[in-house]
Amino acid sequence: MPAADHKLAKLIRLNPLVQRFMLYQRGCFAAGTAISCQGLAENNADARVLAVCSENMVGCFQPPSETHLDVLVGSALFSDGAAAVVVGANPDTTVKERPSFQIIPAKQAIIPDSDEIIVAKIREMGMAYYLSKKLPKVIANHIEQSLMETFSPLGIHDLNKLFYVVHPGGPAVLKQIEEKLGLDNDKLKASWHVLIEYGNMWSPSVLFVLDEMRKNTTEEGRAAAATAATIMEGLEWGVLLAFGPGVTVETVFKGLCETWRSELELHPDFHNTSSTILASTLHIRRLNTRNPGLANTNTSSRLDSRTGSNQAVPGNGTFIDVRRLLGDYWASLSWRGRLLPGWPYGRHF
């Protein structure tokens, strides 16, 4: 202590009066909880909320074990990562804020009798964890029921009529979700891409997936318009799914913002179906680990507090390069400032 939020606030020169909240021990579903902070923005005029997810896997590293094969699975899948989003209400067009998603109120649920499915405990050697082989089926079975209960009243009975931002927990998890929900092959394409390229980064993972969806449906993705069309064409509603210890499932319901209609004309019939709910804007930039030079393109490296607001807002940009901002603090969290040799996906960081 002081914790990472204190260090980050100083690095990006936030007003000392900015409110800060830390979330610990939530694992892979923490990003869903963080995005649910739209209530802070909606209840504070002109507020903007910076939500940062950062994970470091050094403390979880364990050597292979003949008796605990789940450790081998974790070593193969887990990787470091960081991502950030800025959430707000009532976009300010004078500073060219361009919202990507409308956030509909989220819900959180604990799957009954699942306490022992994902377990992690702090030991002298670091964090020891256990992953049950039942995990993929447990998650898939719960998600189907949750989605049907939510979208049936809206007249959506075919789950292929939604776009999906799903935490890439692992190949078995994604396959079970596809099979249980009867999804088309390309529905979880963004999740598969993040899993293959970056691994399971715990909480930042689903934000990486969200960024893949954003890139394919904005000006950045015009060249990939055909891909975007197969994923999101004509779809007004979507869902972000994150799941972790508990087993806890975070479900964030999303709608597309109208700005996308003018950019790619994917939604000619878009309309505000939730006029009583303030639309929250969400901007995200993936931590570009393959080419750090690209991470700063069209971004702002600092945030300032608006007059009369106690939340963080973007300065002259809408994205935040978390790795550059955290810099030396990120390195100090790693064992001797570096990853273990041969760590899966370690080359990205």
- Cis, peptide link before residue 247, omega less than 30° from 0: yes
Tokens matching residue 190: 């963004």
CB atoms within 10 A of CB 334: 16
The Cα 121–Cα 164 span in angstroms is 31
Residues in the chain: 349
Residues 7 and 38: their CA atoms lie apart, in Å, by: 23
Sequence-separated (6 or more) residues with CB below 8 Å from residue 120:
27, 60, 127, 128, 129, 130, 245
Which stretches within 91-250 are classed as H helix?
135-151, 171-181, 189-198, 205-215, 225-232
According to DSSP, the residues that pair with 241 across neighbouring strands are: 166, 251
DSSP code, position 94: G
Question: Bridge partners of 54?
Answer: 82
| 198: Cβ contacts below 8 Å, ≥ 6 apart | 79, 81, 205, 208, 289, 345, 348
The Cα-based distances of 268 to 159, 256, 271 in angstroms read 21, 12, 9
Phi-psi domain of 95 (left: phi exceeds 0; alpha: psi -120 through 50; beta: other): alpha
Is 28 annotated as catalytic? yes
Candidates 28, 37, 53, 257; catalytic one: 28
Which residues are annotated as catalytic? 28
